[in-house]
Structure formats: C-alpha cells, structure tokens
C-alpha cells in the first residue's frame, strides 16, 4: 500500500520533471523575450540589449538555462523577470492561493453536483427528469465560459443597482481594503467567490454529469446489480452499494483529466471578475513575453494538476479494491 | 459458376451494410437531425453570408449603436459597424480554425493512437507518458503564449490551428489507443498476423476501419471544443486579433454593453452556443448510430411484467388453475406465459405452461434463443426492459404478474433465489464477500456483524471452501470462478428458499470445476429442501440433476417428461436430435470418428515438431506479493510431433497452457526455450516463419470476432492470397472453390460477416483457412462458441475436409468429446505440461494419468441411471495432490520473456 503510494509520488515527480523540461524548451524556443526591447523606437543601444540578455541568461544553451532555472525553482527562485524590479516568486505566491481557492471550491461543488445529477438522470433514464437534466447539461457544455462570466457579472451589477445594495460582489477576490479579523475576512472572500464559482462550476459539472450518467447506466445494467435485486436487497442499498459505488471509479478519472481545463477556465473567469489571481499574472506575463514568469506559472499549474492526479490515484485505492490488491 | 461477381454489392436486395444501418439510426434520432440541420445552416451562413450580405465586416456605416432593424438585423456597434456582417466574419474564422484544429488533432491522434495500440508494450508506455505530459498543461495558457510568441502582428488562423491542434490530439489518441489495444487481442487481428500480414497492413486495413467510427465521433466533438477554446483565446486577446474579428472578440468588445446594447453581446454568444450545441448533438447522434448500445434496462425500474399487455388481462384463467387449490398445489405454475419484444415478429416465449412441485428439480433445456432464460427470469420478476409479458405466473398459489418492487422483495432472496451464469460478474467487485453476505442476511431483519460472520463461515465451510473465515475479508476478484460460484450458491441458501433458479450455473466454468459446483448445488438443495429450476443448454448435464425435464425450442416447450423417460423414450424429434448429439464418452470411444488414415508416420519426418517448448511470463510486479515468484510457467517442456494428414487433439482446462502452446506454434508468442519445427525448418527464423504462413492457417473459437466485421467475405477470403502476392484471377478461382467446399453459396462473397449465422461464419473462417491449400490447420476451440446442433455440422465438415484434402489438424479444445471425435492422437495438458499423450482410443477408454481420469470422470453422461450411480459412488481422486504434485518446471537460466502476459 505504502509502496504503491510511494511509486505514484515518484512517478508524478518524474512527469513533472520531463514536462517542465519540454515546456521550458518550447517556451524558450518560441519567443524572444527581448523582442519588445529590440523593436523599441528609438532603437535601444546594442550594449543594453546585450546586458539584458546576460541578465536573463539568454546567452546560454537551453539545457543549461533549464538546469539553472530548475535549481532555482526548487528553492523558490523562478529566475529574473523581464521587468527588472519584479520578483516572480513573491508576486505569484499570493495569487496561487487566490486561484486555488476558486478552483478547489469549484471542483468540490461541481463534483458533488455532477454525482447527484448524473446519478438521478441515470436512475430516471428516458423519463422527464432525465430529459430535463440532459438538455440542461448539453446547453451548459455549449456555453462559452467567458460569455457566461460576463453575463453573470453584468446581471450581478444590474441586481445590485436595482436593489440599491451590494447583493453580489462583481469585482475582485476580496474587498479593498480587506476586512479586519479572521471571520469577516473569510466571509468577505466567500461572498466574492459566489459568482466566479457559479461560472466555473456550471461549465464543468455539466460534462461530468454526463459521464456519471453513462457510468451509472452501465452499472445499472451489470450482472451484480441484477444479482443484488434477485437477492432481495432494498432499493437504497442496491443504489448506494451496488450501483453508485462501482460507478465512482470512472468519474474520478474524468475529473482528474479535466483539471487543466479547469485552470484554463479559471484564467478566463478571473479575468472577467478582475481577480488578482494566477490568470491575470499569466496574461500580463504573456503580453510582456516574460518567459520565466510564464514558466513559473506553468510550473505551479502543473504541480497542482499532478497533485490532484495523485489525489485521484489515492481515491482509486480507496474506492477500488482491484487497484489495491492487483488483479488475478 | 461462382466468381462471376466477387465484388461487394453484387447481390441486390440483401441486408444493408453497417454504414447504411448507422445512417438509418442517425436519421431516426430527432435531436441529431435538428443539430445537423442547424449546423448545415450555420456553415452555409459562414460560407455564403459575405456574398449575400451587402455590408463588410470592417465597413463603417453611419448608423451608430443601432438596435436591430431591417437594415441591420443584428444592430450596429458604437463605430457603426454592422453586427450581422461581423458575426458572419466571426463565424467564418471560428469554424475555419475549429475544423482545422479538429483535422490536425484527429490525424495526429489517430496515428499516434494506432501505433501505440498496435505495438503496445514499451512504445505504448512511452507514448502514453507523453500524453500524460501534454495533459498536465492547461491548454489555454500554453496556446496563448505560443500564439502570442509566434507572430507579432496577430496570429494567422493556420498558426493558431496548429498550436491548438498540437495540444488537443491527446483525447483522440487516448481513445484510438484504447480501441486499438483491445482490437489487437481480437482473433481477426491475430488471424491476419498468422497469415503473415505486416504491421502496416494490420494497422491500416484492419485497425483503422474498425476505429474509424470512434475517430469520426471524437473529431466531431473536438470541433466544438476547439470553437470554445479559440473564442476563449480571442476573448483574452491572444487568438484572432483586430482588425480581423472573431466571435470571441465580439463578446469581449461587448462586455460592458450587456445592459445598454444587449444585441452586441447576445448575438455572438448565441451563435457560439448554437454551433457547439448542434455539433455536440450531431456527435452524440453519430456515436449512438455507430455503436448502438443495447443496454439492459435498469432492474430497479418498474418491470414489464407489471405492465401487462391489455389483451392478456382479459384472458380467462388457465384451465386447471382453479382446480389446483388442493393441498398439492404446485410451487410454481406458468400458464399460457408469453413474452414479446416490440419490433420482433416472433414471440420470444410463446405460450409456455410449466409447473414445479415443492422440492422438485425441473430442468429447462434449450439452445440460445429458445426463451428458457426469459421464462426463468419471469418467475423471479426480472424480465428485460421492453419485453411485454402475458399469461399467468403463479408462485405458491399467488399471481406474481403484477407485483411491485417492494412486494417482490418479500419473495426474492428469501423464497426465490437465483444463481446467474457468470460468477465473475454476479458478485459486486468493490465489496468484500463478508459485506455481501451481511447485506443478504439483513434482508430478513437486522443481524449483528458477528452473527452474520459466523453463519457465513458455516455456509462457506458447507460449500467445501477452505479458509472460509479469511475468504470473508477478500474481494471477488481474488478468487477463482469455481469458488465464486460456490459463494453465490451459499448466498442463495441463506434464507432457506422454496425455489432456487439456477441459470446455466456451470456454463462459464471448467468441466472439473463444473462437477464440484454441481455437487455444491445438490448439497444446497438437500439442505434447504428447495425446489429447483435448472436451466441449461447441455442435455447431458441434466441426467444427473433433474427429476423432470422440459425441452424448449423457439419459445415453446416441445417436450416434458420425467428425466428417465426423456432419455429412454424421447418423443419429439428435436429432443431425439439433441440426445443423438450428446457425446457418450463412457461407451465405445469415438465411434463416430472415421477410421484413421493409414498412419503416414513412418513416411518420414513429421510435419510439425515441437521440442521441449517452454514459455514463461513474468507477472507485473504489483500483481504479486513482494518476494513471491513472478514467473508463470505457461508452457513447460512440451514435446509433440504431428505427421502430415494426422489430427492431434490437445485437451485441457483454462490455464492448462493449451492456448499458449497454440499461439507459440502460430508465432504469436516467442518461446522462452525450445523450438517449433515445421516441415524441417525452425520457425524462429523469420524466413521459415514467412514460408510456413503459406502452409499453416488457423480457425479461431469465436466466428463473431475472428472475421473482420468491416470486410466482405470476398475481402476476407482474398486476404491470405493478397499477402502472398497472388493474382486476383487466381484468388477468385480459389475463393469459389473453398466456398463450395464449405457449402456456402457464391453469392456470399458480396456480404459482410454480420449477415451470417454463427455456424455460417465458422464456415467462412474455415474457407479462409483453406484458401492457400494449407498442410496444417490449427483449430482453436472451433465449435465451443456454437449451439450444440450446429457443433456437429461443423465437426462433420472438418472431418470431411480432413478426409478429402489430407490436411493435418492441430486441435485445441476444452471439451473432451470434441477432441475425441476428431483426433487420431490426444494430448492432455495441465499446468503448462503435457501430462498424457496417446492414441485417442486409449486416452478415452484407458486413461493412464490420474488427471485424465479425473477429467473423464467430470464429463457428465447423458444417461440418468448411469450418471446417478456415478454421482453416488466415489469420484475419481483429485489430482494434483500434495502427495502427488505437478512436477516443478525447471526455470532456465536464460528465461527472459519479460512483459506481456498472454
């Protein structure tokens, strides 16, 4: 058991290592961080560009740069930014917390909703409840997240205006200035979370609920459910232990696979709601062609994804004895 | 005569191809059709819009911020640009990019997926790690960066498509790889490998057509995903750049105008939603059309038995139902019982009347499709969805036709228990055995865990399961099929039921295990005093089990008699035929077998020589306890020699190594040690293997999976010749000849395998095996997937071909009777070793090895008197035993074959 977990962790680290190298190379080859400097009018002196190249380490081969970057990144130093006075690590750290707050809340709510909606739709397959849930899911899947985000934001503003009070927070992840005290701060953050979480949750819960529906429909048709019915078990017991429990295995995979998409969705949602999260940081860095900053962002996202995948693996161990004890 | 028109499509009016069937299913799906129409309209708008609409997308009109009007159907923006023109342009851009992305990702994903799936092993592991890697990256982030970096002045649509396509191929690759991996194990791919087809031929002629429908669906759905990504990127400012426009940019521009100029915001949004929605409905429609999932309906839903057909409600009670109110009322009474499925002309069950008295064993015998299982399921109230039941089903005097779920619970599990066919699927894989016992005990009221454990242990011990208490903490996948089925029987005994329904309880099991399970079943019945309904296709099995036998055919009971009378004096011709087909190994051995051809053994070197062949596999590390031996001795020092024209039959149970032996001879596995010599040449040499492919062919077990479903019979028959580079005219002549030999009409050439019955398909497979006039045909369980009445036809055909063509057979089967009927010599395998070899007559009549004796003893005899006498007498002793174990397999120092399990 512990060996298995250890193996998974080792595997994850390996994936991280290779993935960062590939992405680093890609990012390094794709763009010239000094492009903007070079294009500047009037032209910047060659010596300045040269000095900037040395500061950013552009004169070195990619492999060396990666090694330096990796060594730094492990210690929390993500290398020099294009913007001279910016420390990437210090800038990014608080934003990671902001984004993780959004993403984690959305995952939990979306997963619970998807489980419930998918299971209900499957149990009432081809009946009005199912048709309603399935059609809703189809429409939600087709909704562009940014469109929904803008719509909800403007709706929030309209409601605020109409009621004359602030019902919804539509800008930022926390009030400025932030409220004093632990409890009011939490409450304030939670209030800011409402609209963005709805956006992120709606988009993902829809597609997950479709997978859950399929899984439960298949589970319902399996022999062991028939056998459970023939053994005279109660409806609740059959649904809980024999239908839904085995159907949890596929949904865990689907959610784990969808995490990068969730991060993509978070970028958009944060942008619309003007959060100071990872999304804004990424967009700024891209606009500045700040390779190290983008790399730092991708590293954080990759670590998060790998971490959640590890969590999914552990969940398998809990749910599926066949994984725990091996087959045959 | 034949070969006049070997091209597909030659025959008119035949059942349509799979594609036509899929299209018909698609057309019948209203949502998919609506989606398709909307999609076509949107594409037409994007393609033709600019030609028809008089404003350009960048054109500035004097009308600023206009509401939608006739001049500007979607209004104008603050600069006076016409929204409809911009929306059309956006639509164009989005669709162009999305289609390009789907195309790039589709091609890339298909290639990598097929390669990964075909080669498997290391290639697959490496490619899948690469996929994992790409999957850790949030696409939008990398796409934005690359898109931004690739060009200073905005990105061309092609550049954006390349970037997105390069990130989206993973979903297609995973899907294609998954399907390819399972295809790789399909007999039709193995058949192509045995014919000597190369990787390219297998990947593109066999795998690609069989994953094509999955690719189409995945790619279609990808178009929707790509549109959402592209518009999202453009919204953020990293996709399409102004002055050009895209639906994403339009929404971005309208962000603050939602309340003041809503038309600017809603028009592009609704367009995106419409496209993606219609694509998704079309995609889902295609998926359902290509792979119609016929899922059994939920057993929790109100069953069809409850919803009686109106016509049958008025039916007068069956004669005798009223009279039977005496003390001797039967436990189960069926009268005029029928089941029909909508869309099927013939009733699946057509007026069955049966009774089962208390404590009686009634056997219901029939081939597949006879309606025997439906009849049994109706007694437990569990007919499949869509079925319409009529007539009367009484249990203990009570009409159970209209019972609801709650009422059924009083009967199921307590008074009626059921044992299903496949023990590997009837237990819940994620609950321990103990938990499944506990919930069954709890059906009759609360029980303490300790109490249920104690009683479960008792029951398992009664079922002769060793270490019963430890078993309770294990999961089903940790035990063998025989133990699982005995656990199922123990579960059925819990509440001392009045009726046990056993639905083919031993069909999925080996013959020696079958004997044990039948003993357990007998014990269970004696202990509980229950009546039993025993359902089987195997008439021989019934002799030792049943008191009375009912024979079903095509939904009707054709004959019902006490067991002794039925075997002694069968009345219906169908019963007589079934009885004549039931093998009698206990009498003179293989009387049906034609006199063996004059042994040509003396004539020289054997045709096939297997010398000291061993094949070891290593278990994956995580599947075994630490420190345990990971080697599986699938084959262990096997020798055999086969002369030309001879039939060598190999018999063994699952895990005996017979399939590994056969696959090694066919070149599908590499031996660990030893060699296979064909016609004097060692087949480990590639050149010898290539030459041998021409003279050696194979017929696999399952004719449904050994023929590529996407090929016509003509293409199937032509393939061996094509691989050998034969001229088409020659192939045509040969195809006509072999079809004639297996007695199929020449018109069959234009048809697809799915248009034939199981027996006909096996004839096609045999015809294919004969195409190159082989000297050796390897027969891998050639009849075990077929109904009894068809089995004999195929065996007769094989015997005839052997006589006429003088081919040698290497026959593998689990069924002694099949091997005995066809073979000149028999080899008995156990645990990877050949434990006994001898002439067929000797092995059957005078077995030397204890295992052979045990195997023969386990085969049921279709004679009630003999069978019952045998069952009450002592069984053949177990083998292997701790005192007389299977000889250990010497592991050679150079045993390597790491990796793939069989």
- A71 and A170, same structural domain? no
A-B Cβ pairs (cutoff 8 Å, strict): 253
Q: pLDDT class for B900, splitting at 50, 70, 90?
A: very low
The reply to whether A28 falls in a domain is yes
- A283 and A161, same structural domain? yes
The reply to whether A83 falls in a domain is no
Partner-chain contact B429 A246, CB within 8 Å:
yes
d(CA A107, CA B223): 25
Ranking B105-114, B178-187, B629-638 by mean pLDDT, the lowest is B629-638
Are the beta carbons of A231 and A267 closer than 8 angstroms?
no
Q: pLDDT class for B893, splitting at 50, 70, 90?
A: very low
Residue A62 has which token pair?
A: 């990619």
d(CA B445, CA A279): 57
**Would an 8 Å CB–CB cutoff place B634 in contact with chain A?**
no
Partner-chain contact B259 A154, CB within 8 Å:
yes
Per-residue pLDDT tens digits for B509-540: 888 888 888 988 999 999 999 999 999 988 88
Are the beta carbons of A151 and B258 closer than 8 angstroms?
yes
Residue closest to B817 by CA, chosen among B505, B575, B421, B540: B540
The reply to whether A121 falls in a domain is yes
Q: Would you tell me how many other CB atoms lie within 10 Å of the CB of residue B529?
A: 11
Q: B813: Cβ–Cβ under 8 A, 6 or more apart, which residues?
A: B649, B650, B651, B779, B781, B782, B783, B784, B819
- A216 and A73, same structural domain? no
From chain B residues 391-420, the ones with a CB under 8 A of any chain A CB are: 405, 408-414, 416-418, 420
Partner-chain contact B140 A264, CB within 8 Å:
yes
State the ipTM, two decimals: 0.88
d(CA B375, CA B356): 13
- A230 and A129, same structural domain? yes
Nearest 5°: CA angle at B711, between B709 and B716? 110
The reply to whether A4 falls in a domain is no
**Average pLDDT of the segment spanning B61-81:** 78
Max mean pLDDT among A8-22, B123-137, B171-185, B241-255 falls in B171-185
Compare A93 and B648 and report the one with higher pLDDT.
Answer: B648
- A306 and A254, same structural domain? yes
- A122 and A57, same structural domain? no
- A156 and A59, same structural domain? no
Q: pLDDT class for B891, splitting at 50, 70, 90?
A: low
User: Cis omega before residue A42 (within 30°)?
Assistant: yes
Q: Minimal Cα–Cα distance from A188 to chain B, Å? A: 25
d(CA B90, CA B231): 9
- DSSP state at residue B807: -
- A291 and A244, same structural domain? yes
Partner-chain contact B140 A237, CB within 8 Å:
no
Per-residue pLDDT tens digits for B163-208: 888 888 988 998 899 889 888 888 899 999 999 888 999 999 999 9
If you measure CA to CA, which chain A residue comes closest to B381? Answer: A230
In what side-by-side order are the strands of the sheet with B349-356? B349-356, B332-340, B388-395, B398-399
d(CA B197, CA B693): 9
Phi, psi of B743 (to 5 degrees): 60, 50
The reply to whether A131 falls in a domain is yes
Residue in B136, B150, B273 closest to A19 by CB: B136
**Would an 8 Å CB–CB cutoff place B277 in contact with chain A?**
yes
Burial of B539 (0-12, 13-18, 19+ CB in 10 A): buried
- Return the half-sphere exposure (C-beta side, CA atoms, 13 A cut-off) of residue B387: 28
d(CA B403, CA B391): 14
Per-residue pLDDT tens digits for B694-729: 899 999 988 888 999 888 999 999 999 999 899 999
> Which CA distances in Å does A281 have to A48, A258, B598, B800?
26, 22, 87, 79
Interface test with B, best of A96, A126, A144, A296 (most B CBs within 10 A): A144
Q: Would you tell me how many other CB atoms lie within 10 Å of the CB of residue B739?
A: 24
Burial of B275 (0-12, 13-18, 19+ CB in 10 A): buried
The reply to whether A84 falls in a domain is no
In what side-by-side order are the strands of the sheet with B499-503? B416-419, B499-503, B531-536, B361-365, B548-553, B556-562
If you measure CA to CA, which chain B residue comes closest to A144? Answer: B228
Are the beta carbons of B803 and B595 closer than 8 angstroms?
no
Compare B385 and B680 and report the one with higher pLDDT.
Answer: B680
Buried b (16+ CB within 10 A) or exposed e, B804-818: eeebbbbbbbbbbbb
Residue closest to B610 by CA, chosen among B447, B810, B439: B810
pLDDT score for B587: 61
The reply to whether A137 falls in a domain is yes
**Which chain B residues are Cβ-neighbours of A232 within 8 angstroms?**
408-414, 440, 443
Partner-chain contact B422 A223, CB within 8 Å:
yes
Give me Rg for the CA atoms of chain B: 33
d(CA B187, CA B585): 31
- A122 and A58, same structural domain? no
Interface test with B, best of A3, A38, A229, A233 (most B CBs within 10 A): A229
Partner-chain contact B141 A238, CB within 8 Å:
no
Helices (H), chain A: 2-30, 35-39, 46-56, 62-74, 88-123, 128-142, 145-163, 182-220, 223-230, 235-237, 245-272, 278-287, 291-319, 321-325
Partner-chain contact B152 A321, CB within 8 Å:
no
Residue B368 has which token pair?
A: 């597949």
The reply to whether A239 falls in a domain is yes
- A35 and A156, same structural domain? no
Residue B591 has which token pair?
A: 């009387």
If you measure CA to CA, which chain B residue comes closest to A293? Answer: B145
pLDDT score for B625: 58
- A201 and A69, same structural domain? no
Nearest 5°: CA angle at B653, between B650 and B656? 75
Q: What domain count does chain A have?
A: 2
Q: Minimal Cα–Cα distance from B232 to chain A, Å? A: 7
pLDDT score for B604: 65
Residue range(s) defining the domain that contains residue A66:
15-77
- Return the half-sphere exposure (C-beta side, CA atoms, 13 A cut-off) of residue B354: 34
d(CA B42, CA B91): 8
pLDDT score for B859: 86
Are the beta carbons of B845 and B820 closer than 8 angstroms?
no
Residue in A31, A138, A226 closest to B382 by CB: A226
- A101 and A68, same structural domain? no
Q: Minimal Cα–Cα distance from B350 to chain A, Å? A: 24
pLDDT score for A28: 78
- DSSP state at residue B708: -
Interface test with A, best of B151, B227, B395, B428 (most A CBs within 10 A): B428
Phi, psi of B788 (to 5 degrees): -55, -45
Which H, E and C letters describe B180-234, residue by residue? Answer: HHHHHCCHHHHHHHHCCCCHHHHHHHHHHHHHHHHHHHHHHHHHHHHHHHHHHHH
**Would an 8 Å CB–CB cutoff place B150 in contact with chain A?**
yes
Q: Which CATH number is A228's domain given?
A: 1.10.3720.10
**Which chain A residues are Cβ-neighbours of B622 within 8 angstroms?**
4, 7, 326
Residue in B148, B478, B619 closest to A325 by CB: B478
On the question of pLDDT at B325 being above 60, the answer is no
């Amino acid at each position: 058991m512990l060996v298995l977990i250890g193996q998974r962790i080792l595997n994850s680290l390996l994936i991280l290592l290779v993935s960062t190298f590939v992405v680093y190379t890609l990012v390094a080859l794709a763009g010239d961080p000094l492009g903007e400097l070079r294009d500047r009018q009037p032209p910047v002196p060659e010596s300045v560009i040269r000095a900037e190249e040395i500061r950013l380490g552009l004169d070195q081969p990619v492999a060396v740069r990666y090694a330096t970057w990796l060594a730094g990144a492990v210690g929390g130093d993500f290398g020099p930014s294009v913007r001279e006075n910016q420390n990437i690590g210090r800038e990014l750290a608080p934003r990671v917390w902001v984004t993780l707050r959004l993403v984690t809340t959305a995952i939990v709510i979306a997963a619970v909703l998807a489980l419930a909606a998918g299971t209900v739709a499957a149990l009432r397959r081809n009946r009005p409840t199912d048709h309603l849930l399935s059609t809703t899911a189809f429409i939600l899947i087709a909704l562009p997240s940014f469109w929904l985000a803008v719509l909800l934001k403007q709706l929030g503003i309209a409601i605020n205006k109409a009621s004359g009070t602030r019902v919804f927070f539509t800008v930022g992840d926390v009030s400025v200035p932030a409220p004093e005290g632990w409890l009011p701060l939490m409450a304030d953050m939670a209030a800011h979370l409402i609209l963005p979480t709805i956006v992120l949750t709606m988009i993902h819960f829809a597609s997950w609920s479709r997978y859950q529906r399929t899984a439960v429909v298949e589970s319902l048709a399996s022999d062991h459910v028939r056998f459970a019915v023939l053994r005279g078990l109660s409806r609740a017991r059959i649904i809980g232990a024999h239908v839904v429990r085995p159907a949890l295995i596929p949904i865990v995979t689907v959610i784990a696979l969808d995490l990068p998409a969730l991060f993509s969705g978070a970028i958009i949602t944060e942008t619309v709601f003007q959060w100071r999260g990872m999304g804004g940081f990424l967009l700024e860095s891209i606009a500045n062609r700040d390779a190290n900053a983008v790399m730092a962002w991708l590293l954080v996202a990759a670590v998060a994804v790998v971490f959640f995948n590890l969590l999914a693996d552990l969940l398998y161990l809990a749910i599926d004895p066949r994984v725990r004890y091996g087959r045959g | 005569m034949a070969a006049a028109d070997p091209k597909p499509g030659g025959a008119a009016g035949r059942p349509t191809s799979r594609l036509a069937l899929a299209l018909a299913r698609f057309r019948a799906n209203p949502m998919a059709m609506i989606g398709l129409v909307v999609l076509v309209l949107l594409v037409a708008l994007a393609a033709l819009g600019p030609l028809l609409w008089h404003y350009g997308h960048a054109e500035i009109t004097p009308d600023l911020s206009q509401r939608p009007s006739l001049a500007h159907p979607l209004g104008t923006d603050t600069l006076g640009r016409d929204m409809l023109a911009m929306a059309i342009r956006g639509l164009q851009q989005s669709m162009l990019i999305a289609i390009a992305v789907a195309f790039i990702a589709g091609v890339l994903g298909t290639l990598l997926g097929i390669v990964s799936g075909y080669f498997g092993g290391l290639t697959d592991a490496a490619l899948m790690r690469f996929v994992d890697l790409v999957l850790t990256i949030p696409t939008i982030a990398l796409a934005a960066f690359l898109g931004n970096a690739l060009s200073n002045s905005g990105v061309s649509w092609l550049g954006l498509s390349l970037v997105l396509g390069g990130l989206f191929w993973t979903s297609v690759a995973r899907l294609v790889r998954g399907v390819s991996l399972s295809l790789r194990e399909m007999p039709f791919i193995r058949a192509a490998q045995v014919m000597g087809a190369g990787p390219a031929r297998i990947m593109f002629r066999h795998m690609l057509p069989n994953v094509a429908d999955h690719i189409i669906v995945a790619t279609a759905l990808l178009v929707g995903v790509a549109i959402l990504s592209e518009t999202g990127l453009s919204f953020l400012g990293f996709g399409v750049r102004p002055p050009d426009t895209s639906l994403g940019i339009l929404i971005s521009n309208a962000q603050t105008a939602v309340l003041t100029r809503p038309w600017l915001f809603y028009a592009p949004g609704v367009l995106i939603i419409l496209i993606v929605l219609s694509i998704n409905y079309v995609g889902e429609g295609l998926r359902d059309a290509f792979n119609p999932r016929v899922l059994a309906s939920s057993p929790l839903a109100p069953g069809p038995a409850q919803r009686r057909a109106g016509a049958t409600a008025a039916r007068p009670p069956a004669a005798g139902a009223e009279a039977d109110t005496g003390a001797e009322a039967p436990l189960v009474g069926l009268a005029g019982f029928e089941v029909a499925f909508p869309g099927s002309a013939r009733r699946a069950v057509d007026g069955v009347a049966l009774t089962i008295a208390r404590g009686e064993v009634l056997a219901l015998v029939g081939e597949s499709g006879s309606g025997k299982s439906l009849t049994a399921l109706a007694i437990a109230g569990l007919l499949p969805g869509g079925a319409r039941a009529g007539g009367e089903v009484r249990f203990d005097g009570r009409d159970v036709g209209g019972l609801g779920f709650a009422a059924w619970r009083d009967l199921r599990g307590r008074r009626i228990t059921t044992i299903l066919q496949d023990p590997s699927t009837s237990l819940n894989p994620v609950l321990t055995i103990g938990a499944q016992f506990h919930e069954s005990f709890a059906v009759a009221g609360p029980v303490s865990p300790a109490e249920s454990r104690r009683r479960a242990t008792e029951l398992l011990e009664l079922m002769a399961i060793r270490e019963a208490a430890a078993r309770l903490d294990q999961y089903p996948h940790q035990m063998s099929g025989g133990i699982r089925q005995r656990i199922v029987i123990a579960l059925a005994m819990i509440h001392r039921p009045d009726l046990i329904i056993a639905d083919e309880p031993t069909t999925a099991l080996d013959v020696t295990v079958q004997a044990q399970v039948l003993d357990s079943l007998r014990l269970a019945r004696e202990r509980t005093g229950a009546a039993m309904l025993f359902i089987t296709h195997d008439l021989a099995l019934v002799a030792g089990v049943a008191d009375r036998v009912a024979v079903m055919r095509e939904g009707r009971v054709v004959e019902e008699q006490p067991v002794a009378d039925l075997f002694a004096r069968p009345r219906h011709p169908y019963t007589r035929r079934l009885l004549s087909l039931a093998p009698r190994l206990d009498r003179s051995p293989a009387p049906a077998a034609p006199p063996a051809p004059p042994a040509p053994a003396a004539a020289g070197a054997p045709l096939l020589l297997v010398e000291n062949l061993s094949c070891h596999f290593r278990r994956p590390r995580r599947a075994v306890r630490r420190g345990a031996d990971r080697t599986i001795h699938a084959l262990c020092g096997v020798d055999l020699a086969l002369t030309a024209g001879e039939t060598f039959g190999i018999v063994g149970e699952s895990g005996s190594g017979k399939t590994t032996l056969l696959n090694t001879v066919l070149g599908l596995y590499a031996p660990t040690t030893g060699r296979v010599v064909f016609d004097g040449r060692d087949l480990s040499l590639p050149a010898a293997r290539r030459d041998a492919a021409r003279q050696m062919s194979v017929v696999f077990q399952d004719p449904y999976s050994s023929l590529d479903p996407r090929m016509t019979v003509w293409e199937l028959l032509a393939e061996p010749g094509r691989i050998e580079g034969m001229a088409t005219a020659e192939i045509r002549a040969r195809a006509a000849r072999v079809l004639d030999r297996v007695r199929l009409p020449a018109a069959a050439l234009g048809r697809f395998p799915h248009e034939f019955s199981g027996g006909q398909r096996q004839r096609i497979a045999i015809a294919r095996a004969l195409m190159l006039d082989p000297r050796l045909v390897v027969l891998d369980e050639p009849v075990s997937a077929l109904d009894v009445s068809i089995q004999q036809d195929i065996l007769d055909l094989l015997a005839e071909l052997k006589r006429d063509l003088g081919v040698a057979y290497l026959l593998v089967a689990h069924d002694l009777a099949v091997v005995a009927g066809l073979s000149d010599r028999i080899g008995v395998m156990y645990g990877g070793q050949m434990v006994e070899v001898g002439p067929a007559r000797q092995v059957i009549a005078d077995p030397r090895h204890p295992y052979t004796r045990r195997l023969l003893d386990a085969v049921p005899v279709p004679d009630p008197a003999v069978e019952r006498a045998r069952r009450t007498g002592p069984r053949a002793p177990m083998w292997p035993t701790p005192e007389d174990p299977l000889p250990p397999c010497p592991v050679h120092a150079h045993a390597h074959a790491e990796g793939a399990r069989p």
